Amino acid sequence: MRVRFAPSPTGFLHIGNARTAVCNYVIAKKTGATYVLRIEDTDMERSSLESEKSILEDLRWLGIRWDEGPDAGGDLGPYRQSERFDIYRTYTEKLLAQGKAYHCYCSPEELEAGRRSATSEGRPFVYPGTCRNLSETQRRNFETQGRRPTVRFLVPDGETIAINDHVKGRVVFASENIGGDFIIVRSDGTPIYNYIVTIDDTLMKITHVIRGEDHLPNTPKQVLIARALGLPEPEYAHLALVLGPDRAKLSKRHGITSVEMYRREGYLPEALVNYLSMLGWATESGEEIIPFEEIVRQIELEHLARSAAVFDFVKLRWMNGNYIRSADPGRITDLCIPYLEEAGFDTASFPRPWLEKVIDLVRGNCEVLSDVTKFAPPFLAEVMEPDAEADAMLREDDSKKIIAEAQRLLSGELNEDNFSTELVNRIKAGTGLKGKKLFHPVRALLTGSLAGPELDLAIPLIGYKKCRARAEFIKEKYLG
């Protein structure tokens, strides 16, 4: 068994395409299949090596490893379509020689006029076969006019194309419903996707094409091309579409749509792989957070949902938070340091064991790694300017009692040996306040926020000197 993932290097790796890459990888791991990476870069204007490099980096970050590809090599390459044009030309000449394709001299303006006419009549445009049976004289006249021909595939009349899709079940197409003879080579000589993907899948011995449902309309054209060339047809599995929460096509207006942005935001690859694997599929037990090995064991193409899956950004953040909390503390510290450095903290100036304790504590509040810049600063900065909610809290009369008492205690009665265990209780005794009226102002005073880890765990890590400095800063700010 051989599967493939074939991205176009025209931008960042879209999360929908990442889901296809992950699904192919899971199936490859389950079956022992060879995983082929093919770069479909025939769009010369939009394709770039920078985009290809970015896509490969994102795939590696997700944990996907391919057996054959542009960087891994293999016996059935080249693995970039731009390096295979001579191969495609040979097959084009074969189709032309056998009368299964022909040169089309219709101008873009003529074709557009046909489309407008079809639209005005409320029918789909079907190419009428204008150039199917041109004489040699007609061809020469067109060439004398400077017309550069495309190559069209001659769609046979009355042919039925049936596939037994591993996800969709049996799907049947009629040749008269695919839009007439279609272009396989543009007038500039570059071949069309539907054409060359058929050739590549055959020559690379792909046995199972696992891809998005949006490619289903391409399938009858690819099957007809394979039949015309006498090539074997792969098996197909078309994955249901991934939609936004409003059930519209997933786009930037819904949220992050590229793997690169998920990486930058601070998602863990194992969380993203877990979530993408579960789109349109459920485990035997109903569990949603499961290790990759268990996903491989349980998943079956035939059990994937046929209806569209909705991308739940909230659930993904929740899942990622669970992975952050269960990961190795040292690893999470390493991953959080760049975010803290970008926020202006010199993390090398803090003892590593202490920094690891801080991040281990605050990761309980983090859904993405970048959240560390919200919850770690109270431990790293000397003083904390209260945020809006904390500022409002500290202006209340009861809070002012707490500010005065905390500053008094930290200026003399308490010291480094006993402050962390006694501070809150002594403030409670001195002010008579308790519950939220006690804990919220104390948190606001010491951390500048009303959110964060448990105070009894946070205070020892903040330390006596910072607590004292903050009490003095807050007293000066609110009491004068």
pLDDT of residue 203: 98
Distances (CA, A) of 179 to 196, 217, 339: 19, 11, 52
- How does DSSP classify residue 412? I
The angle formed by the CA atoms of residues 341, 345 and 350, to the nearest 5 degrees, is 110
What are 403's two structure tokens?
């500010």
Round to whole Å and give the CA distance between 314 and 440: 27
pLDDT of residue 415: 84
Closest to 309 in 3D by CA, of 374, 251, 265, 244: 244
**Helices then strands, each counted (H, E), the chain:** 21, 11
**Omega of the bond leading into 108 within 30 degrees of 0 (cis):** no
Residue pLDDT, tens place only, 7-31: 999 999 999 999 999 999 999 999 9
Which residue has tokens 């349109």?
Answer: 280
pLDDT of residue 65: 98
By the 10 Å C-beta count (0-12 exposed, 13-18 middle, 19+ buried), 126 is classed as: middle
What are 290's two structure tokens?
């499961």
Which residue has tokens 């265990």?
Answer: 421
pLDDT of residue 250: 81
Chain center to CA of 275: 10
**Secondary structure of 26-61 in the HEC alphabet?**
HHHHHHCCEEEECECCCCCCCCCHHHHHHHHHHHHH
pLDDT of residue 480: 79
Strands (E), 38-189: 101-104, 150-153, 160-165, 169-174, 182-185
Low-confidence ranges of the chain (pLDDT < 70): none
Which of helix, strand or coil describes residue 274? helix
Round to whole Å and give the CA distance between 345 and 337: 9
**pTM here?**
0.91
pLDDT of residue 108: 93
What are 95's two structure tokens?
């189709």
pLDDT of residue 248: 84
Is residue 33 a contact partner of residue 1, using CB atoms and an 8 Å limit?
A: yes
Looking at the DSSP assignment, which residues form a beta bridge with residue 171?
163
pLDDT of residue 272: 98
Which of helix, strand or coil describes residue 393? helix
| Interstrand relation of 182-185 and 242-243 (parallel, antiparallel or unpaired) | unpaired
Chain center to CA of 35: 19
The angle formed by the CA atoms of residues 208, 213 and 214, to the nearest 5 degrees, is 120
Q: Which residues are catalytic?
A: 252
Is residue 278 a contact partner of residue 27, using CB atoms and an 8 Å limit?
A: no
Round to whole Å and give the CA distance between 279 and 281: 6
Round to whole Å and give the CA distance between 35 and 209: 11
Residues 6+ apart with CB under 8 A from 55: 7, 9, 12, 13
List b or e across 220-237, with b for residues whose CB sees 16 or more CB atoms inside 10 angstroms.
bbbbbbbebbebebbebb
User: What is the C-alpha end-to-end distance of the chain, expressed in Å?
Assistant: 76
Which of helix, strand or coil describes residue 259? helix
Chain center to CA of 422: 48
Is residue 271 a contact partner of residue 63, using CB atoms and an 8 Å limit?
A: no
Closest to 81 in 3D by CA, of 52, 53, 102: 52
